[in-house]
Amino acid sequence: MTPAKTAILACSLSVALVAPAMAKTEVVKAISCWTGTLDMMVNTKKDMGWTYSLKYTSLAEDEDPKKNMSGRCVGSGGLVAGKYESAPYYCTVLAADGSTYMVKGMGSPKGSKGTIYGGTGAFKGVSGTVTGGPRIKLPSAKGQFAYCAHDVMERTMPD
C-alpha cells in the first residue's frame, strides 16, 4: 500500500472511531383509550372550566406487546364565551419493564400534541412527540368520561 493510501485509510478510521453514534428513533402507532373523572366549575353554559384525572392504556397497532403502555394524566380545560380553549395536560407513561417517561402537551376534542421528556430505565434520555387524533367517545358512568383515539408516538433515544 502506498503512503498516500495508508494516510487516507488511517484518517478514515480515526473519523469513524470518533464520530458520534446516531440516535435511535422509533415510531409507534397505537390506539389509546382512557377513563377518568371531571371536576367541573360552571358559571354559564358558555363559561366554564374543569380539571380531570385519567388512566389510560395504549395498544400498539403492530401488536408488539413491548410497545404497549399504560399511565395516568392530569389536565384542565374550559370554555370562554362558548369557545373551547386547548387544555394543558401532563402524563406519566409506564412500560411493562417499569421504565417511564413524561408527556406534556395541549389537547382538544379534535386531537392533541405533546412532548416526551424525563425518561427512566429503558427510556433514560428519551425525547420525542405524541400526536393524538380526534377523540371517539365511549359510554361512561355519570361524572366520568371514556374516550379512545389513534396516537402516533415518535421516541428518540440517545446512544
For the chain, what is the domain count? 1
Judge whether residue 53 has pLDDT over 50. yes
More reliable by pLDDT, 142 or 61: 61
Indicate whether 87 belongs to any domain.
Answer: yes
**Residue-range definition of the domain harbouring residue 41:** 28-157
Judge whether residue 20 has pLDDT over 80. no
C-alpha R_g of the chain: 22
Indicate whether 93 belongs to any domain.
Answer: yes
Indicate whether 12 belongs to any domain.
Answer: no
Indicate whether 127 belongs to any domain.
Answer: yes
Instruction: Report if pTM > 0.85.
Output: no
The C-alpha atoms of residue 9 and residue 139 are separated, in whole angstroms, by 67
The C-alpha atoms of residue 148 and residue 125 are separated, in whole angstroms, by 28
pLDDT band at 6 (very low <50, low <70, confident <90, very high): very low
Indicate whether 1 belongs to any domain.
Answer: no
More reliable by pLDDT, 16 or 65: 65
Indicate whether 13 belongs to any domain.
Answer: no
Indicate whether 11 belongs to any domain.
Answer: no
The C-alpha atoms of residue 76 and residue 98 are separated, in whole angstroms, by 27
- At residue 1, the pLDDT reads 56
Indicate whether 92 belongs to any domain.
Answer: yes
Structure confidence by residue, pLDDT tens digits, 29-41: 999 999 999 898 8
Mean pLDDT, residues 54-75: 94
